[in-house]
Amino acid sequence: MARVLIIDPAKCNSCRLCELACSQGHANAYRPSRSHVRVAIYPEDAVYFPVVCMQCDDAPCVAVCPSAALVRHSRTSAVLVVEERCVGCRMCALACPFGAISYWGGKARKCDLCDGEPECVRFCPPHALRFESEERSTDLARMVFANRLRDALKEVSTS
């Protein structure tokens, strides 16, 4: 069963351990600038959330790539960069609605779901990043809506 990376911004605590885990896994150094996941932090608004590739089904990066360098892995469903084919045009980075594609060393770089065992998930203490079955991937949004409705109903019934 395919699994997807789930981001739960409400749980993120802004620690950036995901960036460290990702960069160590992919660049063999604790190096946030080379991490595929980056945490957006707005301290004044108390808003923090990890930004990372969502492995879109109909992926703009795949569609825009002129050299067919972005391909979907059959087992993990991750969109991967085939380095030998990548011409370094950065069109994919422009096309990505999440800004989740980086570029260095002449090639596009992106999340590959660590071949099915994402390090960022392993190193996320508050479980803001999870790797779960695709059926469960929309549970979160549903619950957020349901919780809001419950709160509203509670307010109505008590007033």
Partner 1 sequence: MNAYAGRTVRVDLSRGRITKETIDLRLAKAFVGGRGLGTKILYDEINPKVDPLASANKLIFAAGPLTGTSAPSGCRWMAITKGALTGAVASSNAGGDFGPELKYAGYDMIIVEGVAKHPTMLVIDDDSVELCSAQKLWGENVHATEDLLHEQLGGNFKCASIGPAGERLVRFASIMNDKNRAAGRSGVGAVMGSKKLKAIAVRGSGGVTVADPKRFRAVCLDALGKLQAGTVGLSRYGTASLVNVINARGVLPTRNFQSGQFEGAETISGEAIAERILIRNRACFGCPIACGRVTAVKNGKYAGSGEGPEYESIWALGADVGIDDLAAATKANYICNELGMDPITAGATVACAMELYEKGAITEKQAGCKLSFGNADALVDLMTKIGYRRGFGNVLAEGAARVARKFGKPELFMGVKKQEFPAYDARGAVGMGLQYATSNRGACHVRGYMVARELLDGEQKMNPFTTRGKAAATIAVQDLTAALDSSGICLFTTFAIGAPELLAMLTAATGFDYDLDEMLRAGERIWNLERLFNQRAGLSRKDDTLPKRLLAEPMPAGPAKGKTVPLGKMLPEYYRLRGWDAEGRPTRTKLASLGL
| 13 touching partner 1, by CB under 8 A | yes
Distance, in Å, from the CA atom of 59 to the CA atom of 56, rounded to the nearest integer, reads 5
Q: Are 14 and 48 in contact (CB under 8 A)?
A: yes
Q: Are 41 and 32 in contact (CB under 8 A)?
A: no
The site that binds partner 1 (CB under 8 A) totals a number of residues, namely 24
Q: Minimum CB separation from partner 1 for residue 20, in Å?
A: 4
| 24 touching partner 1, by CB under 8 A | yes
Q: Minimum CB separation from partner 1 for residue 122, in Å?
A: 7
Distance, in Å, from the CA atom of 96 to the CA atom of 53, rounded to the nearest integer, reads 9
Beta bridge partners of 48: 41
Cβ proximity to partner 1: between 27 and 95 the closer is: 27
Exposed / middle / buried, residue 61 (Cβ in 10 Å: 0-12, 13-18, 19+): buried
Sign of the four-CA dihedral 122, 126, 129, 135? positive
Footprint (CB under 8 A) of partner 1, residues 62-101: none
Q: Which member of 5, 6, 7, 21 binds partner 1 (CB under 8 A)? A: 21
- Binding segment for partner 1 (CB under 8 A), chosen from 77-85, 87-95, 119-127, 139-147, is 119-127
- Binding segment for partner 1 (CB under 8 A), chosen from 7-15, 50-58, 62-70, 73-81, is 7-15
Q: Which residues bind partner 1 (CB under 8 A)?
A: 13-17, 20-21, 23-24, 27-34, 43-44, 46, 122-123, 125-126
